[in-house]
Chain A
């Protein structure tokens, strides 16, 4: 598993990458009450804000970690946004087919991420 500086976790299987937010991010956000997901089939560029996530405290975004295409979204989340707090590592937001899987090497591993949030 890899991690972004924006507290996303990335789980890669070939060129398909599943994206969620870390436990640290879920805790910082507080109770998540609203999630809006992108359409499957959307072509995205790294940095595009593609998920809206609102907690009782504030609104924030999840941006595309890499260039590629959204191939699947977690349809459970809009109805049950609290899943994000219950188990952030299980509550994935979307899967994308990335243009260049080699870019994954640029992200932090678990140790680097733990150091990042320490």
Chain B
């Protein structure tokens, strides 16, 4: 823990009684005194404040000053439609390997003169090296320094944000804009990783404490840690890099084909042209050999990452594996996701998870486990 980097909200976490944990080289709150379950439930009912300052934030600055040039360059590295982003629009995509695996998943926002990328903390260094290696020299890769990122998540987040940041409620899902708070610039997007409505607020490190405490003056707002973030994103069917996706899983296998824009597909204006396009477009056409699915263990025991899945109670060879799993507080029981061979990927299929030497039935279900609360 001593080697872990502190975020700009370190004092905030201490003051609010956080139990800290190392995560991707950072010291982050695992939970606060109410605990993971209460924080999870509060996020689904009201609004929670998450410190996501550990995430990598990188600006891609085109030499021309026209973000379309950066978008065109980035499209050579991702299957998403980046050129099609309007100013202030953001999109989820993946940096892919030459063999069609996933280097990282990320958010890309088109701003007036650059693209803003938000990367996983554990992958930021690898991503930046990859961008430096593959992007043309006239696109400058600029990691944001001294930057904090605060997420407000939950159905009441618009009401909690509006008194401090007028007009923020006008943003719709996956839109972003610059706002001012007492003369300081904030970059706010209507986005998040909990399945709820919410906002992510990028700001200078030195005002992060002050803004976080200003949010906390609203009784509806409570802090939440990584534990709740994990159970919330799992119920929302969202991938955690390193568990549910990695350099061996393709976006199609990972059930992320929805993020591959029409323009990048066969017949589209800019079809293919990203690393691993051969495999990814072939899987789009023919279906992948395995697929990420939602899994609902039928017993009461949680099944966590690593549990092997079998087609029958006595099959010798597994047909899949759980990659994320645990207790879903809003579902009120165990939830999981993982990969199964295509023939077992249809919702309603029963597979069998091996837990402590016993095989227990698990139902393949549609994701997400909870309805999305996004405001479009």
Contact = CB atoms under 8 A, between A and B. Distances in A.
Nearest to A36: B301
Given A30-B227, A33-B327, A34-B327, A56 B304 contact: no
A46 B37 CA distance: 33
Contact of A56 (B300, B301, B326, B356): B326
Given A30-B31, A34-B302, A57-B36, 17 more contacts: A30-B227, A31-B36, A33-B37, A33-B327, A34-B327, A34-B334, A52-B356, A54-B301, A56-B36, A56-B37, A56-B40, A56-B227, A56-B231, A56-B327, A56-B329, A57-B227, A59-B304
Interface string B292-309: 000000001110100000
A33 B35 contact: no
Nearest to B31: A30
A86 to B, nearest CB: 12
Contacts of B30: 57
Contacts of A57: 30, 36, 227
B263 to A, nearest CB: 41
A38 interface: no
Contacts of B329: 56
Contacts of A52: 301, 356
B302 A33 contact: yes
A107 B145 CA distance: 54
Interface of B: 30-31, 35-38, 40, 227, 231, 300-302, 304, 326-327, 329, 334, 356
B332 to A, nearest CB: 9
Interface of A: 30-31, 33-34, 36, 52, 54, 56-57, 59, 78, 85
B194 to A, nearest CB: 15
A31 B329 CA distance: 10
27 contacts: A30-B31, A30-B35, A30-B36, A30-B37, A30-B227, A31-B35, A31-B37, A31-B38, A33-B327, A34-B300, A34-B327, A34-B334, A52-B356, A54-B301, A54-B302, A54-B327, A56-B35, A56-B36, A56-B37, A56-B227, A56-B326, A56-B329, A57-B30, A57-B36, A59-B304, A78-B300, A85-B35
A36 B356 CA distance: 12
A54 B327 CA distance: 9
B29 to A, nearest CB: 13
A31 B35 CA distance: 7
Contacts of A59: 302, 304
Nearest to B21: A57
Contacts of B36: 30-31, 56-57
B1 to A, nearest CB: 16
Nearest to A28: B19
A98 B31 CA distance: 39
A63 to B, nearest CB: 14
Nearest to A78: B300
Top 8 A-B residue pairs of the complex, sorted by shortest distance between their CB atoms: A31-B37, A33-B327, A56-B36, A34-B301, A54-B302, A56-B327, A31-B35, A56-B37
A105 to B, nearest CB: 33
A85 B37 CA distance: 12
Contacts of A33: 37, 302, 327
Contacts of B31: 30
A42 B31 CA distance: 38
A45 B51 CA distance: 46
Contacts of A85: 35
Contacts of A54: 301-302, 327
A115 to B, nearest CB: 22
